[in-house]
Amino acid sequence: MSNNKHLLTEKWIEAVPNFSEGRNNDIIEAICAEIENQPDVYLLHKDIGYDAHRTVITFAGKLEQMEKICFNVIQKAAQLIDMRRHQGTHPRQGVIDVFPLIPLGTATFQDAIELSKRIGQRVATDLGIPIYLYEKSTENANRNRLEQIRKGEYEGFKQKILQPEWKPDFGLPKFNEKTGNIIMGARDFLLAYNVNLGTNDVQTAKNIAGVIRESGMHGKKGKLVGVKAIGWWVEEWGISQVSTNITHFRQTSIFDVFDTIREEAKNVGIETLGSELIGLIPLEALTDRHFEPEAAIKYLGLESFRPFNPKERILEWNLSEQIANRKR
C-alpha cells in the first residue's frame, strides 16, 4: 500500500452516483465525459445494469474540485435522461436515484456533509431538481435512510412531495416530472453486493433476502446487522439473485453475507453460483479474513459471470494507478 500516499496526505472525496440509465451507451458516455480528463478528478469505474436500467459510476477527486464536477454530472444527466419514459427492475425515484459522497484520505465526514449541502443547494436553485439529504447529511431520523425517502418511487412522489413531512431539503415541494428527485449525502463505504442463486424461482431469493437483512420479514428480525437485501430476477443470466447493500462492512463482512446466503440456500436445496460486486471495494473489506485479494475473489466467486480485475475494482489500487499514470 506504499503507493497510496496520495490518498493519505490530501483531502479526497469519492462519489458514487446511481443513474437511471443502463441501456443507452451514448448517454452513459456523455455523463462520463463530464468526469474524464478533469484536473485532480478520476473516473474509477462504471457498472452498467441493463435489466435494472441503472448505471453506477464511481469517481474521486480532490475536495476543492468536486463541487463543480458533481454539479456538471447532475446537469448532464438531467439533460439526457427522462424519467417519464424510465422502466427498470431496481427501485428508483430520479435521474440520479442517489448521490453518495464518501471522504477519503484526510477528508472528514464534515467535509463531505458540507459538500453535499453546497451541491444540493446549487442543483435545486439552478436546475429545479428537488434534493433530499440522507445518511450523515441529515439529522432527521424519519428520513435519513435511502429506503425511507425512496418509498413510493418516482411514480409515488407526485403526491408524496406535497406532504409537509416530505418537503425537500433544497428546492420547492413541486414534482419535477422529467427528472424526479435526487437523494444526496455523506456516508461511509457501502458495498453493493449480489449473490447468485441456482434457481429461476424469484420468491426463493425474496425469502432469503427477508431472512438475512437486518430489517427482517413478517415482524421477525433478520440475521445480519447493517445489511439491506431484496430478491430479484436477472434476465441476462437467467438466474435469481439476492441483492444486498452492506452498510457497515467492518461489522458484517462481505464474507459473512456470502456464507449466510449460501447456508440459507443450501437449507432449501439450492446452490449458490458465485457472486457479483457492483462498483468498487476498499482493500480492507476484501482482505477481512486475511485472504490475499486473489483468494478472496475465488472464494466469493466474483468472476462467475463476468471478469473481475482487482487492479480496477479495488479502490485504492485503482486510484493510485490512475494518479501515477497521469503523472508520467
| Residues that are catalytic | 90
Rounded Cα–Cα distance for residues 137 and 117 (Å): 8
Exposure string over 72-88, b if 16+ CB within 10 A, otherwise e: ebbbbbbebbebeebeb
Among the listed residues 320, 324, 315, 323, the one whose alpha carbon sits nearest the alpha carbon of residue 58: 315
The total of other beta-carbon atoms located within 10 Å of residue 239's CB is 18
List Cβ neighbours of 32 (8 Å cut-off, separation of 6 or more).
43, 46, 57
CA 190-182-24 angle, to 5 degrees, is 85
Rounded Cα–Cα distance for residues 123 and 94 (Å): 13
The total of other beta-carbon atoms located within 10 Å of residue 148's CB is 14
